[in-house]
């Protein structure tokens, strides 16, 4: 494997069959069916509703669709949805769920930095969810192609970990522990990831000719944000203990915004 995309594709195809299974349980899918808005942070859902009071008949593309929770939610809200991901396994596993539920969703294997199998000027709305930017080594290419596939006056909304969290790692602590400078962006690790700054994201968006119309900086909805989901640390925590993780006086990192969302228009 001689480039970032090949390494990431290989690893996500493996991960999809192991720990990622938790996002495909009947319980996880039932929650989305019963409350499609639960797939989004409340502030992000409000941003989506402001841009599209009614999604019925709208064409929506979700690049780097991952667990496809947003894809399923958009479909349930009446949109015609195209799910794109670099991992064939992620798409295959999500397609099984869609077929089981009788959902008509288009699944396309595509690198978010290329989207080369996606037509230009085709979508009313493009959405990227939590965990996308860390896998992108060329933000400008990603946003140029998001701009390309949007219709004129189409909207793009992103939701991701706030860059202010990156210097500290995402784990509750009594004292703040700096693990890297803010302007150290990567790549990091054997499977390369990138810790982009706000300026990197904003400059990539604006240089693509998208016009930023609104930005939100949000806090976590509950204390589970601070629990390492690769471990079982949070399984035994009470609601009171989880709530305390959102108290900045006991967990100083909670004083920083945990999430970032941006709405831009073509």
Tens-place pLDDT, residues 45-80: 999 999 999 999 999 999 999 999 999 999 999 999
CA distances from 130 to 24, 71, 121 (A): 17, 13, 25
The residue ranges of the chain whose pLDDT is under 70 are 1-2, 170-173, 229-235
What pTM does this model have? Answer: 0.93
Q: What is the DSSP string of 81-128?
A: EEEEES-HHHHHHHHHHHHHHT---EEEE--TTT-TTS-TT-EEEEEE
Domain boundaries of the chain, sorted by first residue: 4-265
Using one digit for the tens of pLDDT, what is the confidence trace for 152-170? 999 999 999 999 999 987 6
Fold of 4-265: Rossmann fold (3.40.50)
């Amino acid at each position: 494997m001689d480039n970032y995309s090949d390494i990431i594709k290989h690893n996500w195809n493996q991960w999809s069959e192991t720990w990622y299974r938790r996002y495909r349980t009947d319980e996880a899918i039932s929650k989305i069916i019963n409350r499609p808005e639960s797939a989004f942070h409340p502030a992000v859902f409000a941003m989506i509703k402001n841009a599209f009071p009614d999604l019925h008949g709208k064409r929506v593309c979700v690049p780097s669709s991952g667990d496809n929770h947003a894809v399923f939610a958009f479909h349930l809200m009446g949109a015609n949805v195209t799910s794109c991901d670099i991992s064939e396994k992620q798409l295959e596993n999500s397609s099984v769920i869609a077929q089981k539920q009788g959902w008509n969703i288009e699944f396309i294997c595509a690198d978010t930095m290329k989207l080369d199998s996606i037509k230009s000027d085709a979508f009313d709305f493009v959405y990227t969810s939590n965990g996308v930017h860390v896998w992108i080594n060329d933000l400008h290419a990603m946003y140029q192609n998001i701009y390309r596939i949007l219709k004129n006056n189409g909207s793009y909304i992103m939701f991701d970990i706030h860059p202010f969290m990156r210097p500290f790692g995402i784990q509750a602590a009594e004292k703040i522990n700096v693990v890297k400078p803010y302007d150290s962006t990567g790549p990091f690790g054997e499977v390369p990831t990138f810790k982009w700054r706000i300026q990197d994201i904003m400059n990539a968006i604006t240089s693509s000719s998208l016009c930023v119309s609104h930005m939100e900086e949000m806090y976590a909805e509950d204390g589970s944000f601070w629990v390492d989901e690769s471990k079982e640390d949070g399984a035994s925590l009470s609601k009171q203990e989880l709530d305390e993780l959102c108290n900045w006086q006991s967990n100083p990192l909670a004083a920083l915004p945990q999430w970032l969302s941006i709405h831009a228009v073509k």
